[in-house]
Amino acid sequence: MKTLSRRGLFGAACLACGGAHLGLRATPAQAQAGWSPPPSSQRCPSRFGPQDRRGYMNLLDNEKRQAAARLIRQGTVIELGRKLEPTMPFFGTRRFDMHLKRTFMNPQPNRRGSNEEIVITEIGQVGTQLDAFPHQTIGEEVYNCVKYEDIATRSGFREMGVDGVGTVFTRGVLIDVAGLKGQRTLPMGYEITVDDLQQALSRQNTRIERADAVVINTGWGHLWGTDNAQYVRGCPGIGIAAAEWIIRQEPVLIGSDNWPVEVAPNPDPNASLPVHQIALVVHGVHLLENMKLDELAERRIYEFCFIMQPLKIVGGTGSTVAPSAMI
């Protein structure tokens, strides 16, 4: 998600809003105080080499895909993507407008009518969306210390665009932190800790494996389309330590039912969406935002075959996606 357009929203956010009556507290004490992005010398070259542009997607191989396919026992599909419509929550100048091009009747005797539409939107950054690496920077650099000015053009990025991600077919793992806490929705500003993640996984008898798609249920998705103003004002989510812990388990992506995956605003007032930098820039792990996770959580489905195909937007910073879980 875009950082600059949210600063005003973050400044107005209240950490305790919606959470005091739940017995969960969102306090700055949870934050990893004083965090700052590691310098180029510490984060580059990537573990996959100085020319790498795929990050942890390099870990996804045929053996992993075959193992994921074996998780499909019933053939049931659970959709994890949101509908694209003008009533979605939006940030800043983002929009989704669809205009029908009404029926054109072709001249042949069989009277074949034809309908189309024009869509005006940031197709990479609305709805359920996958963030590509150039979406975020540390200073002048994107993933693997590539200077964004060296790869940016008026019509997109020459390298690391979302068109290069390809089909993601792997094992999915749901970590139900809201369920762990006995809450439908975690309070705004609640920072999910490493302990929360480990307790939830233990409760579910689940573990993260290499090249998994890891998705986290905060319950915040229940506000989607019902209280959009509250949805975009802030959210519960993973903090810095939790993000770093997940990445040590070597996932190909981290997703959630909130808009930035991470807690917002961050308990450290000097940190603007630091998990975006940690995942996308430092390590090369994609983020998947605004997921629909209520059905998975309600049915207590913690392991599944995860399927997602980003749109091949050449040089794009992200893609609207419609991921699915198959069981």
The domain spans of the chain are 4-90+120-326
Domain 4-90+120-326 has CATH 3.40.50.10860: no
What backbone phi and psi angles, to 5 degrees, belong to 222? -65, -20
Non-local CB neighbours of 18 within 8 Å, separated by 6+ positions = 185, 187, 188, 230
Residue 15: predicted pLDDT: 37
What is the model's pLDDT at position 92? 81
End-to-end alpha-carbon separation of the chain, Å?
30
Measure CA 220 to chain center.
13
**Residues 223-239 pLDDT 10s:** 999 999 999 999 999 99
CA 323 – CA 286 distance, rounded (Å) = 14
CA–CA separation, 281 vs 133, rounded Å? 7
- Rounded CA-CA distance 186/226 in Å is 16
Q: pLDDT tens digit string along 103-114?
A: 899 999 999 999
Tokens of 157: 């990025």
Q: What is the pLDDT of residues 230-271, one digit of tens each?
A: 999 999 999 999 999 999 999 999 999 999 999 999 999 999
The pTM assigned to this predicted structure is 0.89
CB 267, CB 28: distance < 8 Å: yes
User: Rounded to the nearest 10 degrees, what angle do helices 194-204 and 240-248 cross at?
Assistant: 50
Please choose, from the candidates 323, 294, 255, the residue with its C-alpha nearest in 3D space to the C-alpha of residue 81: 323
CA distance 231 to 228: 5
